[in-house]
Structure 1
Amino acid sequence: MTGIGAMGSPVYIFIFVLLLLTAPVQEDAYKAQREQMVEQQLKRRGISDKAVLNAMRTVKRHLFVPTAIAPEAYSDGALPIGHKQTISQPYMVAYMTQVIEPTPGMKVLEIGTGSGYQAAVLAEIVKQVYTIEIIPEHGKAAAARLKQLGYNNVEVKIGDGYAGWEEHAPFDAIVVTAGAESVPPPLFAQLKEGGRMVIPVGPVYRTQTLKLIEKKRGKAVTRNLMPVVFVPFTREGQQ
């Protein structure tokens, strides 16, 4: 039987048509979920920055969570990604991104790469993202995922985020995605004059305060934004 004859059989035709129909439908479903997420979870809560909204529409969040929970990727909440870590609620990712007032020419440092989702959202807007993850498994997986998805403007480092990334400082903005008991001095030192840092500060596994810290004339000008609960800011030896 020739190849044409084999593909011409009713069974093969049925399978071929089924594959054509189901593959795009699944992606279209996720696209619709992303749009719904933007309209219902973000815009209604005050996310208005067009670049941030476009980034949230573009980045495929279901690729940044375990396959088993991919259908929940666009739900209104944090999701587990392993090693007692989570991927933040979509609104929180958008809010923290909007707060730093991202622009195309910016260089941003992120502390707490996780699965790489926040880094991808930032990378859709700014020039360069440097992100640090202390858990090797997450750092390696995120680096591979971001590379595979074409985010060539993201560099991942595995290490203690408390020390920042001095060789690439100063940064226009710093986004910290883990709850710290206080603001790490090295991070503030690496913030550019006029730059912005957004960071949750407070006790471990209890209500923290999301803070916006601006560097003005070398001093910290701090504004409390909202109560939050983030996973702990982990140091070396605490993983």
Structure 2
Amino acid sequence: MMVSLFSIFEPSSNIFMLPLNWMSTFIGLLFLPLMYWSSPSRWLYLWTKILKTLHNELKSLLTSSHMGTTLIFISLFSLIMFNNSLGLLPYIFTSSSHLAMTLSLSLPIWITLMIFGWYKRTQHMFAHLVPQGTPSILMPFMVIIETVSNLIRPGTLAVRLAANMIAGHLLLTLLGQTGPQISASSTMLFILISSQILLLMLESAVAVIQSYVFTVLSTLYTGEIN
């Protein structure tokens, strides 16, 4: 019996001291070797086409392209989208709805960019604190605003992804718990099932969109350093 509505997102269940819920993050790695042995299919061609399109778009966002840079963000996109989509299946833990997971993705990227930028391109980083065309009287305030905006970037990336994923899952859970409580009216059941199907389609789109937004914003932050 659930103690509260949020208990479905509880990651602490374990067997033999193993956090099995968090292991859902790495289930996709088990399927990767199969792609090298299976014959090309339409799904594989579709996924390759998506990755090529994403590669071309990310390459255009980077001011100075380096070989292998887009591969990092394409891998990030694949990991987030897989975990978001996996959480839509019943009884599977959604790791991307927890700040422990999302901060683990955003913080290393932001810290790496800050260390590289301030060490290698110090003048360029100072120039970003004062946008071009700012009046002299507003420069101290713009430095404070830009500094705060830069410091909260990893938090906004993490909270945006976690909040969007957990909100849709809560709505699906609320609708799922409403079924046994309503009367056995066929009209009400039809409306309930139809709304759940529509919400599930919306969450499928959100799973892709949020992974794309996380990846594009990380790429834009990288482009500012170069």
* TM-score clears 0.5: no
- TM tier, shorter chain? under 0.3
TM-score (norm 2): 0.27
Higher helix share: 2
TM-score (norm 1): 0.26
**Rg: which structure is higher?**
2
Q: Looking at both structures, which has the greater relative contact order when contacts are Cα pairs under 8 Å and sequence separation is at least 6?
A: 2
Higher strand share: 1
